Amino acid sequence: MLDISVLGPFQVTCRGVPVAPTAAKPRKVLALLALSPDRFVSVDSLMEELWEERQPRSAATTLQTYILHLRGLIAAALAAGPERTGPADVDAKGVLVTKPGGYLLHTYGGRVDVRDYEARAAAGHRAMGADDFGAASDAFRAALELWRGRVLIDVQTGPRLTAEALHLEESRLTLLGRRIEADLRLGRHHEVLAELAGLCTEHPLDETFHGQYMAALCRAGRRGRALEVYSRLRLSMKRELGLEPSPAVARLQHAILRGGPGIDWEPAAGSWAAGPQLLRAG
């Protein structure tokens, strides 16, 4: 009945009717509740998100006002919504539920994009563990396709929403690396070259994407370019972090320098034929 989307612009609909307010603070309240659907969210968490450590004396009363405003939007949606899903007798207090010390946003089985994302990601991890790289690539790709932009891109996030958004963004990058890993194991090095070039530009310190790009370039017969990628990574890491690339990436560079028939991915062995395994397990 209550559908929630946070992987991009923030959307909450009740029986097909939008209920996300435009005012910044009530929108924050709903967003924090929407990131924990069907789970308890404490008043302390909501107040921290709204005011951090500068809570006014009227904070509790103001929060209750925001909750009443959200319930008003939900009640209007329940009355007008054409989609008669969920219990027929549910009211706004049954959707935005008061609990001792906090609140709970009840979805009644509605679609939540983060739940779908996590389920598809888990299917991909299971497939990788079973060496079914085709199924893993498909599942990871399906999970990533749920993203419509940066998490809560149109919400003014406070400390808790910012932390949740960063967690999800890190999860997306990890999943993207695993999807490319699966594609490399399937011999799709030509298909991922352009994507990896963009990712290395966007994430100049990410060793996973650079290692994958180097391997894909080698398999495509472009050793010189692979060495250039390593040199650029090394320069960026020394300049920004004062560090050298990890031993795993350095071993890959040495394998490229030694030459030979190429660096191939062996799905059965799960390692680089001419060097170490570089791709993180996720």
CA atoms within 13 A on the CB side of 93: 3
Q: What is the pLDDT of residue 80?
A: 85
pLDDT digits (tens, 9 = 90+) for 82-103: 666 556 678 999 999 999 999 9
User: How many structural domains are present in the chain?
Assistant: 2
- CA-CA distance, 213 to 230, in Å (whole number)? 9
pLDDT of residue 81: 64
Query: What pTM did the predictor assign?
Result: 0.86
8 contact partners, CB below 8 Å, separation of at least 6: 147, 148, 149, 150, 151, 153
Q: Of 70-84, 201-215, 220-234, 253-267, give the lowest mean pLDDT range.
A: 253-267
Name the band, by pLDDT with cuts 50, 70 and 90, for residue 12.
very high
Tens of pLDDT, residues 118-153: 999 999 999 999 999 999 999 999 999 999 999 999
Under 8 Å between Cβ of 282 and 178: yes
SS3 content of the chain, % helix, strand, coil (to 5): 55, 10, 35
Could you say which of 38, 70, 105 is where a domain stops?
105
In this prediction, residue 88 carries a pLDDT of: 66
Residue 135 included in any domain: no
CATH label of the domain that carries residue 92:
1.10.10.10
Residue 14 lies in domain:
2-105
Q: State pLDDT tens for residues 38-65.
A: 999 999 999 999 999 888 999 999 999 9
The pLDDT value given to residue 255:
87
- Residue at which a domain ends, from 81, 105, 129: 105
Q: How many C-beta atoms surround the C-beta of residue 9 within 10 A?
A: 15
In a domain? residue 191:
yes
Q: Specify if 142 maps to a domain.
A: no
How far CA 126 is from CA of 25, 114, 271, in Å, comes to: 40, 18, 19
216 occurs within a structural domain = yes
What is the strand order of the sheet 17-18 is part of? 2-5, 11-14, 17-18
The domain spanning residue 265 has which CATH number? 1.25.40.10
